[in-house]
A and B are shown apart, each in its own frame.
Chain A
Amino acid sequence: MSFLNPTLAWAGLLCVMIPIIIHLLMRRRRRPVPWAAMRFIIEAYRRQRRRMNLEQFLLLAARCLLVALVAVAVGKPVLGEVGTIGARGPRTLHLLVDTSLAAGVTPVESQKPESALIKESALAAIDELDAARGDRVSIIAVGAPAQAIVLPPTSEMAAARQIIKDLPQTHARADWSEAMRVLRDALARPEAAGSEQVVGLISSWRSGCFDADSTLPSLGTEAAPAPLVLATPPASTVVDNVGIVAVEPARAVMMAAAAGGGGAEPGGMPVRVLLRRTGPGAASTATTMLSVRAVPASGRGVPGEEARQVVQWNAGQDEVQTFVTISPPPVDRSTSEERPGVFVVASIDADSLPPDNRAIAAVQIRERLDVALVVPPGGNASLAAGGDLSSYQPHDWIALALSPRGDFSLRRRQSGELRVQIVDPQQGIAPSVKAGGAGRGAGVLGGIDAVILPRPDLLEPAAWRAVREALDAGALVVLTPPIGEATQRWTEEVRSSLGIDWSIARDVTLLETPSTCAPGSASAGLLGQIASELPELARSVTVTRLLEVRPGSEGMDTLLVDASGRPLVVATVAGAAGEATPRRGTLVLFASAVDLAWTDLPARPLMVPLLQELVRQGISRGVGMPAMAAGMPLSALMPAEAADLERVPAVSGETEGPRVVGIPARGATPTPLRTAGGWLVRSAAGVTLGTLAVNADADASSVAVATREQLAKWLEPSSSRVEWATWGQASGSEGAVAGGRVAGSAASDRSPPVSLPLLLAAGVIGLLELAFARWFSHANRDAFGTRGGPSKGATPA
């Protein structure tokens, strides 16, 4: 038997000797009483000896039992369950082992991660099983996504022990719900009916180890009631933790120098870093040293210069956001053909939970961005001819805004960061056989980062498919209504071809009075870099014609609106694409044509920064993949030709896990990445297609101590029989000691931490002892008494 409070229990059990010691001491202390009528005492003693011995034995037994019961009640034993495995038939123990991020915390005083203690508890639980009797064990690792390591249960205890020892620690959250669903399915199988099922939940139960707001599924089914659930008590050791919640470079695309290979971003790239801290230390002021640097994703080459910054925490502040400007590493021309980009690595001082002290973000390095302006031949004649402003077509304004300092002759290739190509909408636009983000290949739009469609009405269905292909591959697509069309028939084609569910009016709305312009609700996204100036710039813009656009179920990002709140510039929501429509790129729709007859935007100062920022940020959004949290399924935005992932050790730190992870074909269950790190996305041919940054799940990094009440309430839906249990050594867990396991009802744990039934039994024994003592002492009998009066001591007066 083992106890929840074994120290108290064993100390109490030692107290059983107290009545015996008192008895012995009393025997020694008493002086003999001289007595004359000894013959009558001897006669009475001879007649009563057996009864008196029995009475004394019963009295001593009752007193010892009383002390023992109180001790055991305080210790809170596990009775009749796993602690007495073997007393009944074979049992199957299902171990749900917490391998989540927060379970890996290392309290300062213990010098041993709690994950190691969790494994020790699991091993001790296995040690209590007896394979010879038919006991079996199954193991489910709950680090997201939950993984059935050993299921169906096995009787190979040695193998199970080895599996426990080799269980890798993840940087993901704990997925108890999925683990219990998997377990419930296993319990529902017919073979589970042969033995008694017991579920062991082994965790340190810090706040990050479980989501108290979630609802656990019940382990019971219609066929079988929920089994007994034994949960280890929550850790009580208080620790502090500071973690990096997010690292977000201003853009996912970083411009390299056209010459010289040095950093080209003027002044470097700003990187937003969000830090969070938990634990009692959050109540006081503190500082954290933050280091950010860019590391070549290939793992080769020279890292960029490290930017260091001291982050100040105010008392009570648990989140802080800071911006660090970094410079990119020198571009290695010898390996730049694969354009792997760089990882922006942010790290802070070591603390109790190392995995969240480092976070990375993937950034691509580009020498230029290719923009396709789809206009009919001769469309930019007026611009090239240097005509007056009234003769400018929308694409002229767009070209001018995209390349204000460049050569106006767009027929020629341009130099600079943005290279604009003129593409004839009626010739040469067709879907390519091969498409992909960074490695886009053949086709007219292949390799294009942004497609601008001032004349969508001219596109053939094949051209729409090519545009869709570019959009899916991550390109930015900008649509503006054609001028001079009273009825915009292309809007239906946009909805069907590009897979959006917006409602776009076919008829142009003529505004009686020009309406001014204002930033939309989502302007901080794509236009975040000019957000501070946007209200001022937008105020001078007026609109006289527009197409009314309304969002669908996917929603839309409204970047600019008119005075009545009607959307003027809208974009698809990042990440809104589903598995069926793996749209990586961003679609931007201007509700008003870029023409002076519709709006004076082309002539306003907003025009250039608006288009420049839309193109740069829109392309950034489609390039690569956003950083994901460990344990999340691989993004649906993974390039179709991606075959495997290769870990980049230079940015991944010393983490366990495989070096190469295969990617199943689309439609199959994606392989989860449970540990943080930087990965190269490779094709089957070994070509690097991009980069993937995986960070520790910041939402699961809270190391705050959970209370038993919280935990008991959270565990309640899983089973009606939930009890605390501690196997083996679990220092840091309240009341847990090596070799002992104690349980009490989790529900009853809200009451004083004692076993109430045992305490009740102790009370009954106590009453029995009182009755025995009174009855056996004959204090209440005076049938032979000659006179009343108080009893005297052993020495006669």
Chain B
Amino acid sequence: MTTDPTVDDQARRTRPPEADASIYLHPQTLARLASFELRAKMIVEGLSTGTHRSPFQGLSVEFAQHRAYAPGDDLRHLDWKVFARTDKLQIKQHQQETNLDLVVLVDASGSMAYGSRSFEDASGEGIKTSYDGRAQWSKFDHATAVAAAIAYITLKQGDRVGLAVYADEIRALVRRSSSQGTWRQIVGALSVHPVDPQNRSRQTHLARTVDQVLGKITNRCIIAIVSDFFVEVDEFRDALARFKHAGHDVIAFQVLDRDEEEFDFADAAPFEGLEGEAALRIDPRSLRAAYLEAFRSHQSAIERIARGMGFDYQRVSTHEWLGPTLAAFVARRNAVMKHKGR
């Protein structure tokens, strides 16, 4: 076993991208998430029995309610015991349990290429650069880690997980599956479809992406969107509204870099947008207050819209360890659902 990190890097670069999944799912993160289950807030339509409630009530184990018999009802569902006691025809309804489908949408637009944290620090394995030679841990890297983590715990509880990597449209897709190889497929897809360094000006087109996703999903799912959400607030609101209208549960993971949150620069310099915006020469210190005001206003709007529609919102910083953040998020989500009696 070699201890030379340079040799390690070289060797790692020769391996297939799927082999790098360990970079994005740190053992400590796994340890944090191992005891959690990702539950659906709403009733999902699963193909097999599982831990999630199904909208289909019928032959099932868990009794739900009685209702008056109506002509045409299946007589198999009559509760004869009630008829014997009350001489009324009551149909017995059962809550059907089904599997959870998780679709993870990972933003791969140009803005996700930004990162200020060193790759070595974030990867946690002493690896100094990414397989494509980047020394910075980008927001997309962090989004990949988020996607890998929630896919992992979903797969672990036997649910199906799918993936869509999008920017102006869906760039990569992994069909939903609960097989054990799905996780590697997901991580592999994220690895081979990162933010295109040659085309950083690729903009986010959330509406188009939502159209494409909805076209591919027929049952209710949990839609986990991992993005910086540097889109227009109205576009974001429309996207969530369409998901909500389709009955999907949405979890919005907003991945941000610490530089973006603090904008703590000293020297005047031209700032060049990663999604095709023209360079602008500014004095960061003189513009900081206005920038932070606009940034936080946008961030608040994103969170407010998400929560307003009953969805979960979680801000994720690239400079923070993912395990505690996700663990806290899942725990909080489960607690809320338990409180609501679902």
Contacts and interface: CB of A to CB of B under 8 A. Distances in A.
Interface of A: 26-27, 30-45, 47-48, 52, 55-56, 776-779, 781, 783-787, 789, 791-797
B282 to A, nearest CB: 6
Given A41-B291, A794-B265, A35 B296 contact: no
A48 B262 contact: no
Interface residues of B, number: 47
A44 B285 CA distance: 12
Given A42-B277, A784-B292, A789-B264, 11 more contacts: A30-B270, A32-B270, A36-B260, A44-B293, A44-B294, A45-B280, A45-B282, A45-B290, A48-B290, A52-B283, A796-B259
Contact of A783 (B267, B286, B289): B289
Interface in B127-184: 139
Contact of A777 (B139, B269, B286): B286
B287 A787 contact: no
Contact of A791 (B261, B266, B270): B266
B230 A48 contact: no
Interface of B: 110-114, 116, 139, 200, 228, 230, 257, 259-262, 264-275, 277, 279-296, 298
B264 A38 contact: no
Nearest to A796: B116
A37 B262 contact: no
Contact of A793 (B265, B283, B291): B265
23 contacts: A30-B267, A30-B268, A34-B200, A34-B272, A36-B112, A36-B230, A37-B114, A39-B277, A40-B294, A44-B291, A44-B293, A56-B283, A776-B286, A777-B283, A777-B286, A778-B289, A779-B285, A783-B289, A784-B288, A784-B289, A793-B266, A794-B265, A797-B116
Contact of A785 (B264, B282, B295): B264
B271 A32 contact: yes
B254 to A, nearest CB: 12
B259 A778 contact: no
A35 B273 contact: yes
A38 B269 CA distance: 13
B16 to A, nearest CB: 29
Contacts of B228: 36-37
Contacts of B116: 796-797
Nearest to B262: A786
Contacts of B294: 40, 43-44, 47
B287 A41 contact: yes
B122 to A, nearest CB: 13
B259 A52 contact: no
A47 B291 CA distance: 10
A786 to B, nearest CB: 5
Contact of A32 (B200, B268, B275, B279): B279
B134 to A, nearest CB: 12
A26 B268 contact: yes
Contact of A36 (B257, B266, B279, B280): B257
B291 A40 contact: yes
Contacts of B281: 27, 30
A777 to B, nearest CB: 4
Contacts of B296: 784
Nearest to A30: B269
Contacts of B261: 786
Interface centre among A37, A776, A778 (most CB of B within 10 A): A37
Given A35-B114, A37-B260, A40-B298, A45 B287 contact: yes
A37 B231 CA distance: 10
B97 to A, nearest CB: 42
Nearest to A55: B286
Contact of A794 (B111, B269, B273, B287): B269
A43 B230 CA distance: 13
Contacts of A45: 280, 282, 287, 290
Contact of A33 (B230, B271, B285): B271
B267 to A, nearest CB: 4
Contacts of A41: 271, 280, 282, 287, 291
Contacts of A36: 110-114, 139, 228, 230, 257, 260, 273-275
Contact of B269 (A33, A43, A784): A33
A584 B260 CA distance: 108
A773 B13 CA distance: 49
B286 A52 contact: yes
Contacts of B265: 33, 791-794, 796
Contact of A47 (B262, B279, B290, B298): B290
A687 B270 CA distance: 100
A617 to B, nearest CB: 95
A43 B263 CA distance: 14
Nearest to B232: A39
A792 B282 CA distance: 15
A41 B278 CA distance: 11
B268 A37 contact: no
A414 to B, nearest CB: 113
Contacts of B282: 41, 45, 52
B295 A793 contact: no
B308 to A, nearest CB: 22
A387 B262 CA distance: 138
B319 to A, nearest CB: 10
B272 A794 contact: no
Nearest to B259: A796
A796 B264 CA distance: 9
A32 B287 contact: no
7 nearest A-B residue pairs (beta carbon) = A38-B273, A44-B290, A794-B269, A36-B114, A784-B292, A36-B111, A791-B266
A777 B282 CA distance: 11
Contact of B230 (A31, A34, A37, A796): A37
Nearest to A52: B286
Contacts of B257: 36
Contacts of B273: 35-36, 38-39
A796 B230 CA distance: 19
Contacts of A781: 288-289
A791 B268 CA distance: 12
Interface centre among B110, B200, B265, B279 (most CB of A within 10 A): B265
A27 to B, nearest CB: 7
A40 B282 CA distance: 13
B291 to A, nearest CB: 4
A637 to B, nearest CB: 88
Contacts of B271: 32-33, 35, 38, 41
A27 B270 CA distance: 8
A624 B105 CA distance: 127
Nearest to B260: A37
Nearest to B277: A38
A767 to B, nearest CB: 20
Contacts of B280: 38, 41-42, 45
A34 B110 CA distance: 10
Interface centre among A40, A55, A793 (most CB of B within 10 A): A40
Nearest to B138: A36
A320 B107 CA distance: 105
A792 B111 CA distance: 21
A778 B111 contact: no
Nearest to A37: B260
A35 B274 contact: yes
Nearest to B139: A36
Contacts of A794: 265-269, 284
Contacts of B283: 52, 56, 776-777
Contacts of B260: 36-37
A36 B140 CA distance: 12
A58 to B, nearest CB: 12
Contacts of A784: 288-289, 292-293, 296
A767 B145 CA distance: 52
A62 B270 CA distance: 24
A590 to B, nearest CB: 105
Nearest to B231: A39
A485 to B, nearest CB: 116
A728 B275 CA distance: 65
